[in-house]
Structure 1
Amino acid sequence: MEATGPAVSLDRVIKRYERNGRAFNAVDGVDLAIQPGGVFGLLGPNGAGKTTSMEMIAGLRVPTSGTVRVMGLDPTAYRAQLRQVLAIQPQHAALFEQQTVAELLRVWASFYPDAEDPDHLIAELGLTESRNVRTAKLSGGQRQRVLVATALISRPRVLVLDEPSTGLDPGARQELWTVIRARSGAGSAVLLSTHSMEEATALCDQVAIMHRGRVVASGAPADLIRKHAAERRLAFTVMHGTDLTVLRSHAEVSGLTENHDNGSVRVDLTTSDTDALLGLVTSRLSGRDIQIRDAGLEGVFLRLTGASFEAADEIPGKA
């Protein structure tokens, strides 16, 4: 079967669970269309529904309602055909602990008729010094890169990566981004989930921002920022007990969050006029450790949900 439209599509997809006798939707009416030859990011905190959505795309979970298609295939009805076109790197997976990296990838390559060269992947993912190390001895970042390699080795037309940058240092993360861009440039559809606003902005052609099971915004990162968060972010620290009423009622403040820690409060707000607020923050509130930056995708999230990413990440459980 061949897809004539998007590489991946979700149409009004719901995934419902019961916990402690109460039903809830981990994924709540999600619509997505992911095209070949691009990088699509699912962006959201823990509990947003990213992993559950990806597991349904990979055929690991069955939707409660709605339709999921991958290259025209129903992922749960056509599991054998799906394995020929899709590969997934999960957040956590068991590896053959006594095999070396090179041995593991050679075994993995033997499962596919047109596999990538394991040695090429080892070099591409910065694993050369680890090629003869048993997987049980790998660091968290090295293990993460091996998991990505096991997904890449089948030359998938749809590549699903769940938090692929977890545990990577900045250099390794840049190497991974280069690898991902190369796969999308060769025509594969790449779907990745991430907590990182920086990663989504730098790597993704399109993103869907998820919150409590729903897509609250989707589109190109630059377009979403222009539409929902053209303002700038002003962050600073004040003493505990400082009255912030003057900021909450200020006409140029569109969103404000507080994080309390050891007798001080870190204030993060969005504004269209940082110049008007700087004097207020420094003189009346005795603000310190002041930072000004573009609102970015985090500003989009704050504007559409009313919560910072950090606050939303405190949702119990994970979906």
Structure 2
Amino acid sequence: MSLPYLIQLAESLQTGLRKYPPERWEKHRSFLLAQQCEDGGFRGREGDSDLYYTGFAVRALSLIGELDDTLLAKLGTYLRQEQQRTYSPVDVLNWISCAVAVQLAGGDDVLTESSAVEWLDRVFADLNSLRREDGGFAKGPEGKLGSTYQTFLVVMTHNLLGRTIESSERIVDFMFDRQRDDGGFVEIAPMKRSGTNPTAAAVATLKLFGAVDAALIADVRDYLKDVEQDDGGVAANTRIPFGDVLSTFTALVTKRDLGIELGGLQFTAQDFVKQGLEFPTGGFRAALWDDQADVEYTYYALGVLGLTASNAQDD
């Protein structure tokens, strides 16, 4: 039985990052740990802890070093506190991915605790209630149309815990219905211009269901060429004239998923992140226009460096 998609991706990123000297990441580890709050969770750019940012912080820390016992204990406490306050697909996936990371690092197996088992049954029932007639999953109970990203989140949540999702063929059809003439994919049906991030979500989902073919690879290859930018990064869509680290990361993941050669992006993306987005005190920013680092974009930047790492890396 193959590993869940997100764990396979994490292992791929770790493999690349290990090609750098371990001390290369110390300032970034310190930056990430400085964002942890008293309750064990992690904050964004301001305010209190937030499950969304905690998910990114835990994934980033897992990429560049071990989670120590003190950190694991705090995270276990935080996850138990957040359990009954977690409802949306993105928060559910973040909660589960954090719990899996804690378990894999030798911490408490929060997922098997009786309260979590009961909660997960309710959560998956709620997620399945978001299924719409178009075959996708809506962003919330009021949504009438399936969302590419939310469908990706629901699929990956099932996959991470080894749960079967019903009518996967309808999800495949839903995703292909979101593809546009430029080769990419859109977030919701009325949209006409593709986006880099919906394209990545669609491709990952289609790959998981074994629905990738030569035509899809050719279409997406052409689309990704159109969103590469002169600053070295990848833009969110063809109307935006600058790259950002999220879109650069998802474009690289898409190329990885489809077996598309990185080409020059392997080197331009590295330079984009190292020279343009990295702070000397630790952390990474979203794009050249940004002026502050945070845990989310630090994860994406580490992901870019992991995916583009080569044997000849000298940093």
Q: Does the TM-score normalized on the shorter chain lie above 0.5?
A: no
Q: Which has the higher strand share?
A: 1
Higher CA-based Rg: 1
Normalising by structure 1, what TM-score? 0.26
Structure possessing the higher relative contact order (Cα contacts under 8 Å, 6 or more residues apart): 1
Normalising by structure 2, what TM-score? 0.26
Q: Which has the higher helix share?
A: 2
